[in-house]
């Protein structure tokens, strides 16, 4: 009688197991090669957007890859966009930090240093933000205008140019606002909370060791001191006066004409035009035509700068979000002077 021997399935087909591991190893090799190629491509793209020129720093002499936006003219114009709150570097979560102000400053600086650039079309949609952030952008735009007499700047207001958003528009040769835009809110605000009553109810006390009586201005655990409020009001008033002076200079108005409008209110596009806070009401086409006319051209060659992305942004194809009002207000525990529209 013939005897049948049962074989262990694990040893029945050794070639199958060998083939399985060969496939796994091959897949891992392909994956590693793909990752290496992607990393090399990212590095190449990053390097091409940021060439090194001797000992000149990239912040002082920023370099961007350019994308042709529109137009077929011979006069080169840079299209720069600022949307959101004017604030410095904030945490963008797992995508890293974001600094929309620095991004904007570097683009303006690059345009100023490019002899081929004849103008900037700045698109604004902002409720304002930090006083210094707004002033930095205003200064950089002023430097662009002063770098060459024939250079022109046009601002296009999309939805909102309020407070600091209007402040940065002041160096413009012309301001065009879309029909539904809101403009103005000329003023300064500083706000904080006082929790003295609440802290007393829940039994929380504050111990502050300071070198002078005004070192803890507006300490939220202490009663509001009218003398300290007066000191801060002087600072706010000084910044408000500066704002009024810049509007008067930028819009060719007398300060006496600006002050009645500088109580923080917003204006519709029609009202802003009537008060000479803007020059025209229109869309992109009108802003484009306005800049072309200022440059004495029938057509323009408009480019945009490719703003550098972090590795994760390039890998995932997303951009860290611009910080909003909530992020700005939660970023600091102390009162801040703001050119900001607060609804």
Here the tokens at position 333 are 């525990």
Strands 182-184 and 301-305: unpaired
Whether 163 is catalytic is yes
Looking at 254-302, list the stretches that DSSP marks H as alpha helix, in order from N- to C-terminal side.
Answer: 255-258, 269-274, 284-294
94 phi and psi angles, rounded to 5 deg? -70, -5
- CB of 159 closer than 8 Å to CB of 126: no
Half-sphere exposure of 191 (CA within 13 A, CB side): 12
Instruction: Give the active site residue among 75, 76, 152, 163.
Output: 163
Here the tokens at position 247 are 């509007």
How many CB atoms sit inside 10 A of residue 98's CB? 23
- CB of 218 closer than 8 Å to CB of 228: yes
Cα dist from 270 to 179, 187, 279, whole Å: 7, 20, 10
166 phi and psi angles, rounded to 5 deg? -80, -35
Instruction: Give the active site residue among 34, 147, 215, 255.
Output: 215
How many CB atoms sit inside 10 A of residue 178's CB? 17
In whole angstroms, what is the distance from residue 339 CA to residue 61 CA? Answer: 29
Q: Supply the residues annotated as catalytic.
A: 163, 215
């Amino acid at each position: 009688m013939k005897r049948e021997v049962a074989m262990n399935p694990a040893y029945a087909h050794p070639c199958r197991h060998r083939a399985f591991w060969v496939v796994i190893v091959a897949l891992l090799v392909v994956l590693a090669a793909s990752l290496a190629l992607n990393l090399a491509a990212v590095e190449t793209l990053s390097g091409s957007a940021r060439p090194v020129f001797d000992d000149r720093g990239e912040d002082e002499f920023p370099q961007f890859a350019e994308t042709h936006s529109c137009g077929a003219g011979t006069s080169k114009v840079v299209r720069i966009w600022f949307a959101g709150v004017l604030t410095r570097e904030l945490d963008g979560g797992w995508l890293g930090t974001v600094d929309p102000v620095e991004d904007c400053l570097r683009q303006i600086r690059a345009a100023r240093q490019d002899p081929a650039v004849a103008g900037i079309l700045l698109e604004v949609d902002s409720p304002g933000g930090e006083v210094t952030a707004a002033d930095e952008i205003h200064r950089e735009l002023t430097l662009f205008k002063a770098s060459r007499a024939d250079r022109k700047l046009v601002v296009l207001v999309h939805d909102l140019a309020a407070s600091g958003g209007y402040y940065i528009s002041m160096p413009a040769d012309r301001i065009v606002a879309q029909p539904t835009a809101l403009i103005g809110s000329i003023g300064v605000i500083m706000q904080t909370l006082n929790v003295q009553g609440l802290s007393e109810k829940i039994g929380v006390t504050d111990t502050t060791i300071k070198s002078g009586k005004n070192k803890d201005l507006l300490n939220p655990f202490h009663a509001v001191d009218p003398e300290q409020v007066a000191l801060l009001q002087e600072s706010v008033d000084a910044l408000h006066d500066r704002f009024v002076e810049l509007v008067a200079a930028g819009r060719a108005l007398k300060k006496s004409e600006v002050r009645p409008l500088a109580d923080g209110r917003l204006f519709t596009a029609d009202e802003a035009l009537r008060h000479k806070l803007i020059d025209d009401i229109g869309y992109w086409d009108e802003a484009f035509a306005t800049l072309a006319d200022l440059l004495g051209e029938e057509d323009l060659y408009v480019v945009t700068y490719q703003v550098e992305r972090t590795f994760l942004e390039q890998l995932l194809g997303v951009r860290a979000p611009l910080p909003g009002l909530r992020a700005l207000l939660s970023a600091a525990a102390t009162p801040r002077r703001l050119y900001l529209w607060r609804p």
